[in-house]
Amino acid sequence: MAAASLFLLLSTITFSISSSSTTSCRSFCGLLPIHYPLSIDDGCGSPLYRHLLSCNASLSNNSPPILLLRTPSGSYPIISLSYSNQDSHLIISDPSMWTCKAPSPFPQAPISLDTSTRFSLSSKNSFLFLNCSPDTVIIERRPAVCDKFPDRCGSSCDSDAYLCQNFPGCPNLIAESSTTCCSYFPTAMESVRKMVRHCMGYVGLYWRVKESDDGGDGDEVAEYGIRVDFEIPVMAKCRNCVDKGNGTCGFDTVTGNFLCLCGGENSTTSCEGENINQALADGSWKHRASAVVIAVSATVASFAGLAGFGALICYPRKMRPNKVVTGGVQSNENRLF
């Protein structure tokens, strides 16, 4: 029995060591790049965005994987990403959103953003609401100044909005149907969800700057989708990790502390050889295998104690074979050390 227990413990130790290798951070999901602070693998990127993105296989065999944003109301496909320091954002698609190609016949709850995260609804969005109830929604023409300063205007829904007369893909929608349309400028997705309760559908549009013929910025065009902004934390440690040794910024999945991921090893500084040697010398080196070594030592010590305790039990059993002797046996579930 002791031999079988030893084999089981050694097997567990071997599995723990093999499963505690350094994190492999994927840099792409399909065609979309994954960079700091975002990630699709635990321990990569910034802990501020932990578990907020996922990379799922496409339902079509010929299509690339789909990058999804996780929210309280579900997961939504991400169309594009920008990591510009002054303009970092992502564009998501809401399947419940009305489009020319896929009109929603019944009202559905739109996306909900968790306000406790670093994601926020961009001010570069425009929202249109279709067939709203005039009894519960104030539908009226708003002054032109509201386009530039929406916070100075009331909460009415603009019935004369430019986009209502120029739907992307179907500009004559209003003129050729009995659909009513108005535009509203919410500051949060919760406002959109409240509006949809009184309307038959909604349209999310974001303004994209087209590139001009000379390579500069051209006109802005409205496209289907919802723009969500995010912050890029400024960390000297991360910059040092990338610049010195081409490391990948990540974090300890237990403590949340910064880690520079260096392929087969992790460091608290960078992946440069001299920095790694210095880390080894001053004791600041952090590698997940060290935790496993400690666990292995504790497990071996526990087994030694268990074996000794088992010997004490076996001795009185030989002396008094007719009396049952019981004793507590430690396991991985109830072991205290």
What would the mean pLDDT of 25-37 be, rounded to a whole number?
95
Number of Cβ within a 10 Å radius of residue 236: 7
Q: Are strands 66-71 and 74-82 parallel, antiparallel or unpaired?
A: antiparallel
Q: Which two tokens stand for residue 12?
A: 């567990």
- Kindly tell me if the per-residue pLDDT of 289 is higher than 60: no
What is the percent of the chain with per-residue pLDDT over 90, rounded to a whole number?
31
Range from 54-63, 123-132, 307-316 carrying the lowest mean pLDDT:
307-316
Euclidean distance between CA atoms 81 and 118, whole angstroms: 15
Range from 100-114, 184-198, 272-286 carrying the lowest mean pLDDT:
272-286
What would the mean pLDDT of 69-73 be, rounded to a whole number?
92
Q: What is the pLDDT of residue 274?
A: 39
**Position 5, amino acid:** S
Residues 6 or more apart whose Cβ sits within 8 Å of residue 275: 244, 245, 267, 269
What would the mean pLDDT of 174-192 be, rounded to a whole number?
82
Residue 145, Cβ density class (10 Å: 0-12 exposed, 13-18 middle, ≥19 buried): exposed
Nearest in space to 51 (alpha carbons), one of 324, 256, 331, 333: 256
What would the mean pLDDT of 66-95 be, rounded to a whole number?
93
Range from 157-171, 259-273, 293-307 carrying the lowest mean pLDDT:
293-307
Residue 44, Cβ density class (10 Å: 0-12 exposed, 13-18 middle, ≥19 buried): buried
Range from 48-52, 114-118, 174-178, 280-284 carrying the lowest mean pLDDT:
280-284
What would the mean pLDDT of 145-164 be, rounded to a whole number?
78
Euclidean distance between CA atoms 160 and 143, whole angstroms: 10
- Regarding predicted confidence, which is higher, 150 or 106? 150
Q: What is the pLDDT of residue 223?
A: 92
Residue 88, Cβ density class (10 Å: 0-12 exposed, 13-18 middle, ≥19 buried): middle
CA atoms within 13 A on the CB side of 296: 15
Range from 96-105, 142-151, 192-201, 269-278 carrying the lowest mean pLDDT:
269-278
Number of Cβ within a 10 Å radius of residue 19: 9
